[in-house]
Structure 1
Amino acid sequence: MTQAPPTAAARPARKDLVKAFVASLSGTSLEWYDFAAYSAASALVFGQLFFPSHDPLSGTLLAFSTYAVGYVSRPLGGFVFGRLGDVLGRKQVLVITLLLTGISTVLIGLLPTHGQVGALGAVLLVVLRFAQGVGIGGEWGGAVLLSSEFGSDRHRGFWASAAQIGPPAGNLLANGVLAALATLLTQEQFLSWGWRVAFLLSAVLVLFGLWIRVKLEETPVFKELRDRGEQAGAPVREVFTREPRALVAGILSRVGPDVLYALFTVFVLTYATQQLGMPKSWAVTGVMLGSALQLVLMPLAGALSDRLGRRRVYTAGAVGAGVWPFVFFPLVAGGSAPMLVAGVVIGLVWHALMYGPQAAFVSEQFSTALRSTGSSLAYTLAGVIGGALAPLLFTSLFASFGTWVAPACYLAAACAVTLVGLAMGRTAAP
């Protein structure tokens, strides 16, 4: 059942809207800092520390397998916290998810390695990675609604983009910290204890995020829904029975962006160092510059979708993303560092065009009473199909075929799936 938006009298002041935007942005940035630190460490050090092997590629594959665990566990977070967001409210859920992800990340920084405790270190790493994924799975849907439900429908694309800025902001911060540590420390120091600093810093970041979120009010949309007594009784079941097309459209629309992001923030680190023989610092520089540019491009893309429509802006990004790997890989084949950096940055530009309007597009597929559950399920289930397997498949395809063409075709197919999802979805707000 579609609900009316808050009345003019019920709408919050602009300062409350800005506060919600900052709370959504800061919380997702902090959680994605945790996630990005793990992703970068998977490519750079975890293969050696937790999955030692005589073959560096095999160690990297095993490290990426634990990377995938963080995506596979997301649906559990989506099911549990998405439902609670529709029953209890958006704010309470976001405090819990921030704590879950932050504590897991700090504990990763304290883990003993394979050289100290053998396989137990890898087991504990997988468990904590699983907990990280559960927290992230519950975070996104609530963070999107936190900012978008404080604003007007006419500007939903812009305000909802607050949660979307979190991944590049967190990625920028995590890779910046790891790059600084790798530069300041020797290789032995970095492998011994330096990488742990990035994870332990999460404790400070989580405290800041909690301070922001605890002070925030519940969204006016949920308040009105609660006052009317119109919350869904069984939101998970109702999403599957009443709004299955919306769920499928949301899932498919997210596959391409997830696969593209995995290519240009995770796989590119391994490809540059192991295949092109380039220092990892160049690949990290490309990711950092691209992420910095996304901080501006994502809200711009969200705002542009308010004017031109979600589908039009999103489609432009999907088409560009599907074509770009066929340009990128030949471009960097000669081992040129500037070309590598430029290629990664352009790849993340295409991602921004999709990711900016994505939050509004996905949330608009569902009625108000089911919006937290529906958005969370679409986000997390798509993560399993797209992001979870992408780094592993990129590495496996390249190892099997010995050419960049196979990974490029994989990304093109993922973008085609996104176009199907966009065609299925509706663009008008409920």
Structure 2
Amino acid sequence: MSASPSAPQGFTPTGTIATSADRRRVVFATVVGTTVEWYDFFIYAAAAGLVFSQIFFEPLGAQAALLLSFATVGLSFLFRPLGAFLAGHFGDKYGRRVVLVFTLVLMGGATTLVGLLPTYAQIGVAAPILLVALRILQGISAGGEWGGAVLMAVEHAPKAKRGMFGASPQIGVPIGLLLASGIMALMAVIAPGDAFIEWGWRVPFLLSFILIIVGYWVRRHVEESPVFTELAERKEKTRMPIVQLFKKHTMLVLIAALVFAGNNAVGYMTTGGYIQNYATNPDGPVGLERGPVLWAVAASAVTWLISTFFAGWISDRLGRRNTYIIGWILQLAGVFLLFPLVNAGNIMSLFFGLAILTIGLGFTYGPQAALYSELFPASIRFSGVSISYALGAILGGAFAPTIATALVQATGSTDSVTWYLAGMTCIGLAATLLLRDRSGIPLGPDHEAEQTKSPIYGMSRA
């Protein structure tokens, strides 16, 4: 794409990166920043399944404490829309980069403070209250992080490589899971048994402070998105982007949210701590050791990373929609194989169950950055992608571990969880089929008229 005649002199047009060094800087910044954000998010989810029910909610009794511990994982999702609204508003008005730096510091600060929290035994009910407050801050940060990261990647990308560039912040999520699970597993070795409950779980949270410094430095040294730069130069920034989004594109936001919900509900079986708790519960049907289970989850993050990047890359050739359809079929197969393999009761079958599942998850996550970026007009794109993502997280993963726990407690079987996850996968597939493929559509502000044409089948406008 070339700059329009009215573009400012010397402007770098959408999708043009001057040098290979600039390209590496953008990709590295989005990967590192997203990795730090989701490392923070996932160590909380892992600790919720392994530790928090015992040290923050124990007076409620084992089952209720576990349900409430998982509920705090989901609670943060309820505040993601707030983070998305704020980040979308300020990101469309003041730029992608400033929002990315702020969300990184907010997430890392909240995570570090969790590692310093006293327990219920030490300060009583104030302990879970403080835990919940810090989890809310994590939710606000996560709600604003993703949209900015994907737009920095996709809006810098050449038109024919948006899927691959967009996969760079996406792979930060499995890398974050890999780091979180790996460090948790290492601490289970260094501080086994009661020592892990007493202090071992805190170390991964405190390490977040170092990661904040690295992520902050990287993100401060990446250029602003060329789309936002052009909007700013032309003084075409929308005054109230969120109002315009819901005035003209409400149905599109809901359908895009359901696409992500189908992926997120299934993904939070591992990232939300459910499988970790289910497989290590000494009173459950599996009863595996904590350390090996965490290593298996970490290993499955590698298959998720590979499939996520490959799906982003292949979506530049097959199209976003076709790649998603393949992904939903693979994900559905993984859902039906998951619990039979986990319930076999050995680490290798647990790993294979998670690995198969994460292949489908990668195919329904890798193309998402490019898909979402191509759905919304430039002037409200940050708001559109952020809010769709946040709503999808609420509808999908927010309470998936809590729902799965309640279903097993009510039915005594994981079959009910399998059908729940299969239903969410089918919802994601149905939402995908409602969307047109817009791979390669121009993303710059001089093409708003084309971008506003409805991407939804059967509707003339969004």
TM over 0.5: yes
Displacement, 1:54?
A: 7.2
Corresponding letter in the other structure for 2:127: G
- 1:231-310 correspondence to structure 2 within 5 Å: 231-265=237-271, 266-274=273-281, 275=284, 276-310=286-320
**Distance in 1, Cα, partners of 2:304 & 2:342:** 22
**Distance in 2, Cα, partners of 1:39 & 1:124:** 16
Mapped contact 2:82–2:140 kept (Cα < 8 A): yes
In structure 1, the residue matched to 2:444 is none
Cα deviation 1:256-293 (Å, max 9, x = unaligned): 11111111332111221222111122322221111122
In structure 2, the residue matched to 1:173 is 179
**Distance in 2, Cα, partners of 1:202 & 1:9:** 35
**If the length of structure 2 is used for normalisation, what is the TM-score?**
0.89
Mapped contact 1:264–1:348 kept (Cα < 8 A): no
Corresponding letter in the other structure for 2:394: V
**Distance in 2, Cα, partners of 1:294 & 1:278:** 23
Q: After TM superposition, where is structure 1 displaced by more than 6 Å over at least 4 residues in a row?
A: 3-8
Corresponding letter in the other structure for 2:296: G
Displacement, 1:60?
A: 1.4
In structure 1, the residue matched to 2:109 is 103
Which stretch shows the higher mean deviation, 292-301 or 228-237? 292-301
Which secondary structure does the structure 2 equivalent of 1:356 belong to?
Answer: coil
In structure 2, the residue matched to 1:12 is 17
In structure 1, the residue matched to 2:223 is 217
**Which of 373, 381, 397 is residue 363 of structure 1 equivalent to?**
373
Displacement, 1:8?
A: 9.1
**1:422 and 2:439 are equivalent in the alignment:** no
Mapped contact 2:188–2:196 kept (Cα < 8 A): yes
Which secondary structure does the structure 2 equivalent of 1:387 belong to?
Answer: coil
**1:62 and 2:57 are equivalent in the alignment:** no
Cα RMSD, aligned residues only: 1.7
Cα deviation 1:227-258 (Å, max 9, x = unaligned): 11111111111111112232122101101111
**Which of 104, 125, 128 is residue 122 of structure 1 equivalent to?**
128
Which secondary structure does the structure 2 equivalent of 1:149 belong to?
Answer: helix
Contiguous gaps of at least 5 residues in structure 2? 442-450, 452-462
Cα deviation 1:127-186 (Å, max 9, x = unaligned): 000000100100000000011111122211110111111111111111111110111113
Displacement, 1:4?
A: 7.2
Which secondary structure does the structure 1 equivalent of 2:238 belong to?
Answer: coil
**Distance in 1, Cα, partners of 2:25 & 2:347:** 40
- Please identify which structure carries the higher helix content: 1
In structure 2, the residue matched to 1:387 is 397
**Distance in 2, Cα, partners of 1:188 & 1:294:** 32
**Distance in 2, Cα, partners of 1:383 & 1:295:** 19
Corresponding letter in the other structure for 2:366: G
Corresponding letter in the other structure for 1:153: K
Contiguous gaps of at least 5 residues in structure 1? none
